Amino acid sequence: MIPNVPGIGGTADDTARRPAPASSSLLEAAIERGGLHPFFQAKVAIGTRAIVGVEALARIASANQSLASPAGYIELAERTQRIDALTLVMARAVATHAVAFNGLSCAINISPLSLERLEFAGELAAAIAPSGLPCSQFVLEITDTRNADYGLKAFETMTALRALGFGLSLDDFGAGASNIDRLRNYPFTEVKIDPAFIRLAMDEAFAKAALVSCVRLARDHGLKVVAEGIETAQMWDFMTWLRVDEAQGYLLHRPMQPQDFRELIKKS
């Protein structure tokens, strides 16, 4: 979830690439006392490099008040049933900043565990409501992991989220074990290609054919295709050839603090 729930990614000085040692006290501080900080990484159109969206990436204030990746905290929150609370705090903060983002689509990462409660859909909409922004301005990136359980409750919650206007993105596409089944059975509006899948497809003919087929399948079913983790000109050229819709990565724009992202879109 900026988390694979609320977000994992880098910052300008890369300190956030080091996971913060997880503790229950710092997790509660993030949830209850403002210890969770959103960073933002631009998404660009593949044809023009114009900024067309943004992903929110979370940072946790560690014991020494430096900001770090919340990866360990996400795992802790999932184990202690605090993941929904963490995600809602993140969503509220992201929506507050997104008011100044000129209507850009904004992605928020959520845990598949949150889909196990139908009430989560309404709670997420309520978290965003004070900003005055429509739910349709937000895309929820749902991590595709091998152990993610997408059952009947997940389908019902995703259907409720779609009815509220949220977009749904299958994150880390190509990293999990059942991507195609999930695309077929759940109401996704977007797929986000895992960078490891991209790198493999650049080096291996079979993986390249598989990726081409997956992109074609997604497009044939009206899904947006986003490539993440674009760090080299070769990866960009490959995604341009593949004709994905959008891309993000360090080659294009690094994650940045809200005020820096506002300045970036003013100049764009």
For the CA atoms of 202, 205, 210, 212, the dihedral, rounded to the nearest 10 degrees, stands at 60
200 has a pLDDT exceeding 60: yes
pLDDT band at 166 (very low <50, low <70, confident <90, very high): very high
Average pLDDT over residues 177-199: 88
pLDDT band at 105 (very low <50, low <70, confident <90, very high): very high
Question: Of the given ranges (28-37, 146-155, 183-192, 215-224), which has the lowest mean pLDDT?
Answer: 146-155
Question: Of the given ranges (6-10, 72-76, 137-141, 207-211), which has the lowest mean pLDDT?
Answer: 6-10
Average pLDDT, the chain: 88
Q: Which residue has the higher pLDDT, 68 or 16?
A: 68
pLDDT for the residue numbered 8: 36
pLDDT for the residue numbered 247: 98
Strongest mean pLDDT among 6-10, 70-74, 175-179: 70-74
Per-residue pLDDT of 35-53, as tens digits, reads: 889 999 999 999 999 999 9
Q: Report the C-alpha gap between 127 and 57 in whole angstroms.
A: 17
Whole-structure pTM value: 0.89
pLDDT band at 119 (very low <50, low <70, confident <90, very high): very high
Kindly report the backbone phi and psi dihedral angles of residue 148, in degrees, each rounded to the nearest multiple of 5, phi listed first: -70, 130
Domains in the chain and their CATH numbers?
15-267 (3.20.20.450)
pLDDT for the residue numbered 9: 37
Q: Report the C-alpha gap between 85 and 80 in whole angstroms.
A: 11
185 has a pLDDT exceeding 70: yes
**Alpha carbon of residue 105 to chain centroid:** 12
Average pLDDT over residues 232-242: 97
Q: Which residue has the higher pLDDT, 182 or 17?
A: 182
Kindly report the backbone phi and psi dihedral angles of residue 28, in degrees, each rounded to the nearest multiple of 5, phi listed first: -65, -35
Q: Both tokens of residue 69?
A: 């990746």
Question: Of the given ranges (170-179, 205-214, 229-238, 246-255), which has the lowest mean pLDDT?
Answer: 170-179
Q: Which residue has the higher pLDDT, 92 or 70?
A: 92
Q: Report the C-alpha gap between 3 and 217 in whole angstroms.
A: 28
Regarding beta strands 167-173 and 190-193, do their DSSP bridges make them parallel or antiparallel, or are they unpaired?
Answer: parallel
> Partners of 71 in the beta sheet?
none
